């Protein structure tokens, strides 16, 4: 696991050259990459969401495509279209911006539901189907979607089915005063992303993706994961709880976090650290709870505090 820990530290340190003072968010992005999951970044404009996606693509030697969603965008604008070639008298597929490795779906909630649905197949099955022909997506493949939580005019809220397909949701937030001064100093002459170089290759990413699957998860930790997600379905403050996909997401992200910490086994602390980012966007708070201004994040935190951690040894030797 030391190789995976070094892999994560190298990647996070490289991203920190551009994104200042957001180490936890960067670690979550790396966790998402290693789990081949998609990440929803929900935050106000100007905090570095787009730059983060570009920096990740440059750091891992992957292709980067950006989709700027607007209400008039059609599904074909995202997935690609088939165009008739008069010379060959055949239809040729012209891939859209979704056919890439690191894809930034900027302001995803500005697209219509029909266009949003075009992402579902790609995010879940790693393929797109155009005119009845299926096209495989390259690996690694990751969607980083952004949305503004403040401005709702002219937007189409993401349906629960699509929210559930995001492995993690995170917020960058405003930088502290000292960090903001460092940002000013770093960008005085040029933007740091202009000189950012790759520190890992795409093949190394694929090897790391396979390696984290071997991280040991004890039966006790599995029971703890299921207990947490199960409690989201039982709480009286929840209208719709987390699905089994939420349990699987906690399982996979727990493996990735443990590996990045240099361990070959998952601890309950890994699950606790990831619970809000993994589960909060998968649940719908009841109307009564919303009147009490109880957010999904706060609700998941309360569930983590209330569910007892199972006893036992979590190490591989007891497997």
- Express each pLDDT in 255-301 by its tens digit: 999 999 999 899 999 999 999 999 999 988 888 878 888 888 888 99
108-159 pLDDT per residue, tens = 888 888 888 888 778 888 888 887 788 888 888 999 998 877 666 667 777 7
pLDDT at 32 (0 to 100): 94
Long-range contacts of 185-189 (CB under 8 A, 24+ apart): 186/20
Average confidence (pLDDT) over 78-94: 83
Of all residues in the chain, the percent with pLDDT exceeding 90 is: 32
Domain boundaries, the chain: 2-208, 215-311
Angle of the 268-279 helix axis to the 219-234 helix axis, nearest 10 = 30
pLDDT the model gives residue 318: 46
Mean pLDDT of 221-226: 93
Question: Same fold for the domain at 2-208 and the one at 215-311?
Answer: no
The correct CATH number of 215-311 out of 2.130.10.10, 3.40.50.720, 1.10.8.80, 2.70.98.30 is 1.10.8.80
Q: Rounded to whole angstroms, how far apart are CA atoms 39 and 163?
A: 10
* CATH level 2 (architecture), domain 2-208: 3-Layer(aba) Sandwich (3.40)
pLDDT in tens, 2-21: 688 889 999 999 999 989 88
Distances 286 to 3, 236, 300 between C-alpha atoms, Å: 44, 8, 14
Instruction: From residue 195, give the alpha-carbon distance in Å to each of 17, 181, 205.
Output: 10, 20, 21
Average pLDDT over residues 37-54: 86
The confidence score (pLDDT) of residue 317 equals 58
Structure tokens that stand for 118 in this block: 């075009």
What pTM does this model have? 0.88
Is the per-residue pLDDT at 319 higher than 80? no
């Amino acid at each position: 696991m030391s190789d995976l820990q070094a892999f994560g530290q190298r990647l996070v340190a490289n991203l920190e050259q551009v994104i200042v003072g957001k180490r936890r968010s960067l670690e979550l992005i790396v966790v998402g990459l290693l789990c081949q999951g998609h990440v929803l970044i929900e935050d106000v404009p100007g905090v570095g969401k787009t730059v983060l996606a570009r920096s990740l693509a440059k750091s891992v030697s992957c292709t980067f495509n950006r989709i700027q969603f607007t209400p008039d965008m059609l599904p074909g604008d995202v997935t690609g279209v088939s165009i008739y070639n008069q010379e060959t008298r055949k239809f040729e597929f012209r891939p859209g911006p979704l056919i890439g490795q690191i894809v930034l779906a900027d302001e995803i909630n500005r697209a219509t539901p029909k266009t949003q649905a075009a992402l579902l197949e790609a995010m879940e099955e790693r393929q797109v189907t155009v005119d009845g022909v299926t096209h495989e997506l390259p690996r690694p493949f990751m969607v980083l979607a952004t949305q503004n939580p403040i401005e709702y005019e002219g937007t189409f809220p993401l349906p629960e089915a699509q929210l559930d397909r995001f492995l993690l949701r995170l917020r960058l937030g405003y930088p502290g005063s000292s960090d903001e001064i460092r940002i000013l100093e770093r960008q005085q002459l040029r933007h740091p992303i202009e000189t950012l170089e790759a520190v890992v290759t795409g093949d190394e990413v694929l090897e790391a993706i396979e390696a984290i699957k071997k991280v040991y998860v004890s039966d006790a930790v599995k029971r703890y994961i299921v207990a947490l997600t199960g409690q989201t379905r039982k709480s009286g403050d929840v209208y719709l709880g987390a699905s089994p996909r939420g349990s699987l997401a906690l399982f996979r992200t727990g493996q990735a976090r443990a590996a990045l910490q240099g361990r070959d086994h998952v601890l309950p602390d890994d699950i606790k650290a990831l619970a809000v980012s993994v589960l909060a966007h998968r649940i719908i708070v009841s109307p009564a709870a919303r009147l009490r201004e109880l957010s999904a994040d706060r609700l998941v935190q309360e569930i983590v505090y209330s569910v007892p951690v199972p006893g036992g040894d979590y190490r591989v030797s007891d497997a």
